[in-house]
Amino acid sequence: MGWAIALHGGAGDIPVSLPPEHRQPREEALRHCLQIGVDALQGKMHPLDVVELVVRELENIPHFNAGRGSVLTNKGTIEMEASIMDGRTKKCGAVSGLKTVVNAISLARLVMEKTPHIYLAFDGAEEFAKEQGVETVDPSHFITAENVERLHHAKEANIVQIDYSTQPLQNGTKKETSVVANGDSQLGTVGCVAVDSNGNLASATSTGGLVNKMVGRIGDSPIIGGGTYANELCAVSATGKGEAILRATVARDVAALMEFKGFSLMEAANCVVHERTPKGTVGLVAVSAAGEVATPYNTTGMFRACATEDGYSEVAIWSAS
Amino acid sequence: MSSSENKQMGWAIALHGGAGDIPLSLPPERRQPREEALRHCLQIGVEALKAKLPPLDVVERVVRELENIPQFNAGKGSVLTSKGSVEMEASIMDGTTMNCGAVSGLTTVVNAISLARLVMEKTPHIYLAFDGAEEFARQQGVEIVDSSHFITAENIERLKHAKEANRVQIDYTQPVQNDTKKETTIANGDSQIGTVGCVAVDGNGNLAAATSTGGLVNKMVGRIGDTPVIGAGTYADARCAVSATGKGEAIIRGTVARDVAALIEFKGLTLEEAAACVVHERTPKGTVGLIAVSAKGEVAMPFNTTGMFRACATEDGYSEIAIWPAAKIE
């Protein structure tokens, strides 16, 4: 069967005209993170460790909406969330409302392994982080000039940007204003799914949430069955409009279609994305116990990368690129 | 979606006050107020359905009532965190539109389920938590009180007992008393009750579900359970509405509420089959109970714990209030 890995840096209305100075660093980052994941799998690292490792890397990269580079709340603050799930044991961990924790995904894993609970949030999660001695920094660490500008723009347009478009508003961005103004611009969340040659599956998702979101707003990323899910059949990580993903229980439904209807991974992933969620709202990455990969999205694009043991690999943003 | 071209199936409602290791020896002074509360809340729900209130309004109304009753682990009567504080959470879902709302970490809001509904209807979001949720509550002008309002002597005692046993009680049965040899079931963490919920369907097949809780005795501050998680503790679509109770972590892992609906939709199971499958075949014994109604007006209330405080009624005149498997009171 072989190992397989897929990762994403967010689905959304990523303009095909994305200038090179914005596109290339992200492609390079996807390539870099894919390599880390592939090396780990080739080194026989367990998929749970692999997805955590890759998502940590994505969190640390400021071009994606997680960890450093997280979008801002309507008060200009950071509130990060994440979840992780081990397909074989169905154990999972989740966190929300983090302000100082450098790697939310690792704290989610610690909740899973060091507490009798699955999900910790806000002050309680921050307190747990201190007890565990994980790396914390001043919240300003996560804030980038791009995101300050995105928030400013969203406030001017008086909208909650479901995610953020790829670039902050610039002079010649007529496309930018129309796209953002009707709330279509969507990017956000990072995630990784992996399977080893023994069929062990794992999924991890992490995000800063929505630009201009209400303080305390939780999206799909920390919700087991929403943005993250893994069982013995597949592992899924979703991205896009959090509210649409929650409503459609996206990650769970991919696995449920496989289990209850006998769909293949590809059929199940395509069904959820193209038939069960509104266009322009969702993308996902998924791997199956058999080592298959699916990366469907119903948005303009999705930053993604994947590789399988038989040598296939891909780094892409739009279709056929 | 409405089934207006189908024959009218009739309304149905079910509600619960928590599943867990409810001892058969539960003394009358503890059993009767809860049975009476279930009867009272069922009546409220039935009257609302008869008055043609939308199921979304019905489930909110019934859960508000359950939250206000101190004998159940929601609103007043919520169990306490490891710091002796209250952190309440809830979610609500409309099967017709698939709109949903959820809240967590509330300390002053009298009715969490109503705030969840406001999140659904007054914000672009689904889920608000902790300080942000409390702030939203103030903006909305919902009823808030000092958090001491929610704390009962019973729950202070439960927390004390759990701390002595150095354990997170998944839920609670009764505070420890002298002759409680049976009570030592708490010592191994088996005692489980908690959460309230309601599901309803009208004669047109409109479905709704609502769930509310104080969480776990001695839980870590900031711990979120299944109750506010769409697909875990609460779910409703065009086929059924589900509210779950029991070990929150098991319900999250088992995506319980969503799985009932998915078995109906993807495998063609009936409500009864789907609910029984999830509870008896897909979750560990002693962890889960649920109530569910279908678009056709059917009701299912399976549980794999010792008991589940529950009540249900259907338009054809059937009604039931019960705690243990065959111990129907009426």
In contact, B231 and A249? CB cutoff 8 Å: yes
A67 labeled part of a ligand binding site? no
**B217 touches A: beta carbon within 8 Å:** no
Q: How far apart are CA A92 and CA A229, in angstroms?
A: 9
Is pLDDT of B192 > 50? Answer: no
Contact of A292 with A312, CB cutoff 8 Å: no
Res. B45: pLDDT tops 90: yes
Chain-chain contact of A256 with B262 (C-beta, under 8 angstroms):
yes
Contacts of B266 in chain A (CB under 8 A): 256-257, 260-261
Mean pLDDT, to the nearest integer, of A28-48?
98
Inter-chain CB proximity A226 and B230 less than 8 Å: yes
B98: which chain A residues are within 8 Å (Cβ-Cβ)?
247-248
Rounded mean pLDDT, B153-159: 93
CB-CB under 8 Å, B222 with A216: no
Binding-site residue positions of B for substrate: 223-226, 245-248
Is A276 annotated in a binding site? The answer is no
pLDDT at B222 over 70: yes
pLDDT in tens, B49-64: 999 999 999 999 999 9
SS3 for A312? Answer: coil
Q: Is the pLDDT of residue A218 over 90?
A: yes
The pLDDT, as a whole number, for residue A320 is 66
Query: Which residue on chain A is closest to B100 by alpha carbon?
Result: A247
**Mean pLDDT of the region A102-118:** 97
B202 vs A: CB within 8 A: no
Residue in chain B lying closest to A222 (CA)? B229
B248–chain A Cβ distance below 8 A for any pair? yes
The span from the CA of B232 to the CA of A249, in Å, is 10
DSSP A142: G
Question: What is the radius of gyration, based on Cα positions, of chain B?
Answer: 18
Give A52-94 pLDDT, tens digit per residue.
999 999 999 999 999 999 999 999 999 999 999 999 999 999 9
Per-residue model confidence as pLDDT tens digits over B2-23 = 444 445 589 999 999 999 999 9
Q: Among residues B81, B195, B211, B213, which one is catalytic?
A: B195
Answer yes or no: is A69 a known binding residue. Answer: no
- Could you confirm whether A189 is annotated as catalytic? yes
| Assigned token pair, A112 | 């899973």
CA dihedral B313, B318, B322, B328 (to 10 degrees): 180
| pLDDT tens profile A136-178 | 999 999 999 999 999 999 999 876 654 444 334 333 333 333 3
Residues of A within 8 A of B168 (CB-CB) are: 116-117
Tell me: the pLDDT tens digits for B257-275?
A: 999 999 999 999 999 999 9
Residue B256 corresponds to which tokens in the numbers above?
Answer: 């319980």
Question: B120: exposed, middle or buried (C-beta count within 10 Å: 0-12, 13-18, 19+)?
Answer: buried
pLDDT for A138: 97
Statement: the pTM of the whole predicted model exceeds 0.90: yes
pLDDT for B326 equals 74
Residues in contact with B175: Cβ distance below 8 Å, sequence separation at least 6, in sequence order: B154, B157, B158, B161
Q: Residue B181's pLDDT is what?
A: 33
ipTM of this complex > 0.95? no
Q: Which of A119, A219, A260 sits opposite B223 (nearest CB)?
A: A119
Contact between B230 and A249 using a beta-carbon 8 Å cutoff: yes
Please check whether residue A129 touches B, CB under 8 A: no
Q: Does A83 touch chain B (CB under 8 A)?
A: no
CA atoms within 13 A on the CB side of A68: 12
Mean pLDDT of A95-123: 98
Residue with the larger pLDDT of the pair B138 and B185: B138
**Distance of residue A212 Cα from the nearest chain B Cα, in angstroms:** 11
- Chain B residues in contact with A128 by the CB 8 A cut-off are 220, 222
Contacts of A261 in chain B (CB under 8 A): 266-267
B124-137 tens-digit pLDDT: 999 999 999 999 99
What is the token pair recorded at A237? 């990580």
Q: How far is A66 from chain B (nearest CA, A)?
A: 19
